[in-house]
A = this chain, B = another copy of it.
């Protein structure tokens, strides 16, 4: 039995992989002019659209720079940005085969302090929803989630049972597409957070602050505090 095409990937992928190999061998140091589309067409015996697709994907990956009217240049590889997956804690825990549960310490409506109101695009003093939830993996506290929600975006927020679903999951249903900005820093937990997470007062914590926007409207701001000894983020950079 013959397997047609087994092991042989699509032509555009071959062109792309060939250039990638040469780049990683240092054949074209950063900034060097690489072969033109026409040259690659001749070299590989494929159409220009095929070569173009390979080059376009290399450009999307940050491996080459292309300038109309000039040519294609090897890029500085470290400009490639790395991808970091910040996943829903619930799915992360479940995927490890562990048990996730949550304790809700607060779920109420409050007038928004000035700074917060501004970041949510609301007038100071406007009522916002505020929840404080601790998430456990196999009964070990992993995250303290202090969250404010724009009521206009999720009117039913306070009626949700957050021992059964997470705010993230619920908000995704209400406002399916979104953008987020986040910052990651190390700091000590507040006294209350330390108590809720059952850690010592000065244990270093990984703090992620995330602001979520959907179609220009701020939806929610969350401060996610993780004990440094129990949680880390992993990622990779792969040109």
Q: Which residues of A contact B (CB under 8 A)?
A: 23-26, 29-30, 49, 60, 76-78, 81-86, 88, 168, 172, 176-188, 202, 204-207, 214-215, 226, 228-229, 231-239
Contacts and interface: CB of A to CB of B under 8 A. Distances in A.
A186 B239 CA distance: 27
A174 to B, nearest CB: 10
Contact of A180 (B82, B88, B180, B206): B82
A176 B233 CA distance: 26
Nearest to A57: B60
A131 to B, nearest CB: 19
Contacts of A81: 83-85
Contacts of A204: 186-188, 202, 204-205, 228
Contacts of A88: 78
7 contacts: A77-B172, A82-B180, A83-B83, A86-B237, A180-B237, A182-B236, A183-B232
Given A182-B236, A186-B204, A186-B207, 6 more contacts: A77-B176, A82-B182, A83-B83, A182-B234, A182-B237, A186-B187
B84 A235 contact: yes
Given A176-B29, A177-B23, A204-B228, A184 B233 contact: yes
Contacts of A233: 183-185
Nearest to A206: B186
Contacts of A229: 187
Contacts of A23: 176-177
A190 to B, nearest CB: 13
Contacts of A85: 81-82
Given A178-B239, A182-B235, A228-B204, A82 B82 contact: no
A236 B179 CA distance: 7
Nearest to A23: B177
Contacts of A181: 234-237
A26, A177, A179, A187 — most chain B CB neighbours (10 Å) = A177
The 9 closest A-B pairs by CB, nearest first: A204-B204, A186-B228, A185-B232, A186-B186, A24-B177, A84-B84, A186-B206, A186-B204, A180-B237
